[in-house]
């Protein structure tokens, strides 16, 4: 049940990112799955988070039209890195969360920019990519904690609804 809820949230984030945020100047647009991978690493157990990250990475790879497996590997590396970091730091601290989101959005933007540099036959696109990566990192750092706060609130709401509607008193034969 928890994995299904997390996957639905993942699909809603992908839908929001690819439809509503797709118009106009897209240089500021960062991948919303980066902060979501941070959220999954901080707040969810492995057995719930890893399938969602794998399915979300496969969906983003299919939508991107780029190298298949790039987003999947980026999300898995972000998840593993955040899980290692929270062993040593208190993950509920907002400053630590902002730093983690900054590092993850930076890592993802740099990895995608590097793949663009490698695959582009034209020499010199690096100067055009640096401002784009800078804008994405800035907006990811500014809006990422708000997205994480919203995800935590949705998780608490789902948990309270789950406790209210799926307790033992509603099991067949236990009225």
pTM for this structure?
A: 0.83
Contacts of 116 (CB under 8 A, 6+ apart): 125, 129
Closest among 45, 31, 109 to 79, alpha carbons compared: 45
- What is the distance, to the nearest Å, from the Cα of residue 75 to the centroid of all Cα atoms in its chain? 7
For the chain, report the end-to-end CA distance as a whole number of angstroms. 22
| 44 within a domain of the structure (yes/no) | yes
Lowest mean pLDDT among 4-13, 43-52, 96-105, 158-167: 158-167
The pLDDT of residue 49 is above 60: yes
Residue 41 counted as domain residue = yes
Using alpha carbons, list the distances in angstroms from residue 126 to 33, 113, 121.
24, 8, 12
In a domain, 98, yes or no: yes
Residue 8 lies in a domain: no
> Which pLDDT score, from 0 to 100, does residue 125 have?
67
Any domain includes 122: yes
pLDDT per position as a tens digit, 134-173: 888 888 888 888 888 898 888 888 888 877 776 655 555 5
What is the rounded radius of gyration, in angstroms, for the C-alpha atoms of the chain?
18
Q: 126 in a domain, yes or no?
A: yes
When divided into structural domains, the chain yields a total of 1
Q: Which range marks the domain in which residue 84 is found?
A: 31-154
In a domain, 161, yes or no: no
- The two three-digit tokens of residue 92, written as one number: 């509920």
Calpha distance 118→133 (Å, rounded)? 16
Closest CA to 39 of 160, 139, 149, 158: 149
């Amino acid at each position: 049940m928890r994995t299904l809820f997390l996957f639905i949230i993942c699909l809603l984030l992908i839908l929001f990112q690819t439809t509503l945020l797709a118009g106009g100047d897209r240089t500021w647009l960062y991948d919303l799955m980066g902060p979501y991978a941070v959220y999954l690493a901080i707040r969810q157990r492995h057995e719930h988070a890893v399938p969602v990250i794998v399915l979300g990475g496969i969906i983003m790879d299919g939508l991107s039209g780029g190298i298949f497996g790039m987003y999947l590997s980026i999300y898995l590396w972000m998840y593993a890195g955040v899980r290692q970091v929270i062993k040593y730091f208190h993950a509920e601290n907002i400053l630590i969360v902002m730093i983690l989101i900054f590092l993850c959005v930076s890592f993802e933007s740099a990895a995608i920019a590097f793949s663009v540099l490698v695959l582009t036959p034209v020499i010199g696109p690096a100067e055009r990519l640096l401002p784009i990566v800078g804008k994405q990192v800035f907006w990811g750092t500014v809006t990422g904690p708000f997205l994480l706060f919203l995800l935590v609130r949705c998780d608490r709401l789902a948990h309270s609804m789950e406790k209210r509607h799926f307790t033992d008193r509603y099991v067949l034969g236990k009225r």
